[in-house]
Amino acid sequence: MDSRLIRRCRNTLVVVVLAVVTAAMPGVPAPPDGAASAAVLPFDPGPARAGLKRLLPSRAAQFTLVPVAEPGSGDYFSVSGRAGAIQVRGTSPATLLTGVGWYLERVAGVDIGWPGDSVGRLPVTLPAVPGTITRSANVPHRYALNDTDEGYSGAYRDFASYRRDIDLMALHGVNEVFVPTGAEYPYYRALQGFGYDAAELRAWIPGPAHQAWWLLQNMSGFGGPVSDRLIEARAALGSRIAHHLRALGMKPVLPGFFGTVPPGFAARNPGAVTVPQGRWVGFARPDWLDPTGPVFAELAAAYYREQRHRFGDSDMFKMDLLHEGGTPGPVDVGRAAEAVQRALDTARPGATWVMLGWQNNPSAALLSGVDRSRVLIVDGLSDRYEGLDRETQWGGAPYAFGAIANFGGHTSLGANTGVWTDRFHAWRNRPDSALRGIAYLPEGTGGNPAAFDLLTELAWEPGPVDQRAWFAAYAARRYGGADPHAAAAWEQLRLGPYSGASGTWSEPQDSLFTARPSLTAVRAARWSPGAMRYDAATVERALSELLKVDPALRGSDAYRFDLVDVARQALTNRGRLLLPRIRAAYETKDLEGFRALVREWNASEELLGRLVASDRRFLLGPWLADARSWGADAEESDRLEYDARSILTTWADRGPSENGGLHDYANREWDGLVRDVYGPRWAAYFASLDTALVRGTAPVAVDWFAGDDAWAHGRQAYPTSPAGDPVALAGEVGAALAAATAAGR
């Protein structure tokens, strides 16, 4: 028989079977008699099946994915089936994967986290489902990704990397994802019709790692100029990302247009009025085109036309007017917001305007000018402060409960998860509640897998989540089996870094090992917490327990990642005890005591470097290699590598870096950075203090920016594969900490 005929017969049979199954489901109309076409299906489950094969290649055949129509109550999934024959029903391809994820965690007892998994612990035949498990989304909006995510998570990733992230988000119930990749394209194309040539625009657009802040109207140009080839390649990638999201039934949230324009726009476009935006932490901000003027609507139409042509349709658009200190000048903010929404609605009738809840944004003046029923505020501060009343503050505008558990993509472990579990359902159940979603908003993804898992799960639980019970269950599935030591470890992590209190901060403290050297250093990044936010002993106890986990569970990727991460955090926390002692020895001119403590500090930082080199998630090499791979020639590769290096270190030129305080904002304990940036800085500093003690002179001042900038412009390659045994290295950390404790240090 012809192979094409075989495929047609097989596909028809699948459609008929699914039609029969779905006909008996609530909310799914029965197909017409004799119908045997794809039209009877609520949606194509193929993308979910493809995602399942990527996530579970050796077990995917044991799942049957059944599409069902979405009822008025919203998304839901159900899971049932006997051993080796698991049936998942869901209201979208993504929701089918959410059902698979729920089965893996609640029935099979394994975890696919972001990052780390324990799927290697799955039996050959998947276990049966006791009865039927059904979950409905308690909010329609399950939003993910901060404006800054691409810059801090890796602006030079390939499609396979983004697809993996999207698959993981679907597995955890997310249905709306911000897509900034290629966002320069509609600006580049549209503005060529408003008096600018291509070269001018390529110089105005920043390098990819810094583009988030250009989209936020904070800066322009840095890390450029970008090439026409790079703009096209990023647009192609962004288009693939958006297409993949749509295929899974998820919404790509695209950047909207609110008036950012290059210098000289008014002079080149009669009738246009622009408002200078001043400076943002040392950068000159781009001008703002008055949305109430006659030219705005024309440029917005061109922007949305180019965006739609390249990226396809969407009905959600993210934009923030006057972000972090922007000035309206003589423009009426309410009328400006009305004009921005009108331009969006003209291009995409009925579209939702997504705004970030951050600092004073969105203001009452801005919200006064918009149709609030077509707004979604993704709140980045739900867990940070006390006394929040979003319904009153935002006039009843729909919002999503969100949190920023790290800034700059810090490697710090922890989040205010107790605040999440206390507040989410309490806020949702208020009589006047406008809470309509959750928002996963770390500034950089790929760390803190427990935080991602817990926050996204809130949207699928019908009632309050018991934080202690949740972490106990998480410990059992994280490594693919119950273990008393794993349970004890995660209870300590829950009590410590994952129980941050609201009031001031939403992220844990960062590392002093990554800070600019000073005897009085209390943070690395200017806006990070200045002290420990929990008892450091909880992490040391967690490490001790993890090292005792049953050897049968130690082979999972999740265990090995967590072991390195917890050992890294325990060692980092000890630095906060060491530095004040080093300062005391220096100030009392105790040379021998000073030297002994400095040796311990340097040994700790050296051990830290070896530890993080043992896991691929803590390697600098892939980050830089990815950046270089996008260059069309050596010159462009060098420019892109600088873009990728500087975002982690100097962040910018001397002015913004030093005077604006941006240096080390994205500090992270990665191999390469620890070894060649942070460690040498501290070693040089302590050597200068030693000389000062010996000679009785003041220490020599060091131009830290000069050294960091030289590294950022460097070309040294770093390993792209891990080295060393993470279990042995974590054991070495545990032994060093135990010895220090026993010695009273």
Percent of the chain with pLDDT over 70: 95
The larger pLDDT score, comparing residue 154 to residue 41, is at 154
Mean pLDDT value of segment 514-533: 98
Q: Contact at 8 Å (CB) between 550 and 482? A: no
pLDDT at residue 658 tops 90: yes
Least confident of 4-18, 505-519, 593-607: 4-18
| Helix axis angle, 634-646 to 621-629, nearest 10° | 140
Can you give the pLDDT at residue 373?
A: 96
Fold type of domain 3-136: Chitobiase; domain 2 (3.30.379)
Cα–Cα distance measured from residue 99 to residue 89, given in angstroms and rounded to the nearest whole number: 7
Specify the pTM: 0.94
The answer for residues whose C-beta is within 8 angstroms of residue 33's C-beta and 6 or more apart is none
DSSP state letter for 112: B
Residues of the chain with CATH 3.30.379.10: 3-136
Strand partners, 136: 76
Cα–Cα distance measured from residue 646 to residue 475, given in angstroms and rounded to the nearest whole number: 37
Mean pLDDT value of segment 481-492: 98
Q: Contact at 8 Å (CB) between 289 and 257? A: no
Cα–Cα distance measured from residue 330 to residue 177, given in angstroms and rounded to the nearest whole number: 35
Task: Give the residue among 197, 129, 141, 147 at the shortest CA–CA distance from 174.
Answer: 141
Question: How does pLDDT run across 121-130, given as a tens digit for each residue?
Answer: 999 999 999 9
Task: Give the residue among 62, 37, 60, 38 at the shortest CA–CA distance from 49.
Answer: 60
Residue with tokens 């941006």: 662
* Mean pLDDT, the chain, whole residue set: 94
pLDDT at residue 688 tops 50: yes
Can you give the pLDDT at residue 24?
A: 36
Can you give the pLDDT at residue 743?
A: 79
Least confident of 20-34, 167-181, 367-381, 515-529: 20-34
Neighbour tally for 158: CB within 10 Å: 13
The answer for residues whose C-beta is within 8 angstroms of residue 463's C-beta and 6 or more apart is 425
Can you give the pLDDT at residue 5?
A: 37
Question: How does pLDDT run across 697-725, given as a tens digit for each residue?
Answer: 999 999 999 999 999 999 999 999 999 99
Can you give the pLDDT at residue 17?
A: 37
pLDDT at residue 524 tops 70: yes
pLDDT at residue 12 tops 60: no
Handedness of CA 28, 30, 35, 36 (dihedral sign): positive
Kindly calculate the radius of gyration of the chain based on its CA atoms and give it in whole angstroms.
27
Residues of the chain with CATH 3.20.20.80: 141-478
Task: Give the residue among 651, 612, 733 at the shortest CA–CA distance from 148.
Answer: 651
Mind spelling out the 3-state secondary structure of 50-71? HHHHHHCCCCHHHEEEEECCCC
Can you give the pLDDT at residue 742?
A: 84
**Strand, helix or coil for residue 317:** strand
CATH class as words, domain 141-478: alpha beta
Cα–Cα distance measured from residue 283 to residue 220, given in angstroms and rounded to the nearest whole number: 8
Neighbour tally for 551: CB within 10 Å: 8
Mean pLDDT value of segment 1-29: 37
Overall size of the chain counted in residues: 745
Mean pLDDT value of segment 587-600: 97
Can you give the pLDDT at residue 39?
A: 53
Question: How does pLDDT run across 61-91, given as a tens digit for each residue?
Answer: 999 999 999 999 999 999 999 999 999 999 9
Task: Give the residue among 560, 463, 447 at the shortest CA–CA distance from 497.
Answer: 447
The answer for residues whose C-beta is within 8 angstroms of residue 284's C-beta and 6 or more apart is 219, 220
pLDDT at residue 30 tops 70: no
96: its two tokens: 């089918």
pLDDT at residue 27 tops 80: no
Cα–Cα distance measured from residue 594 to residue 597, given in angstroms and rounded to the nearest whole number: 5
Least confident of 16-25, 106-115, 410-419, 591-600: 16-25
Q: Contact at 8 Å (CB) between 168 and 199? A: no
pLDDT at residue 9 tops 60: no
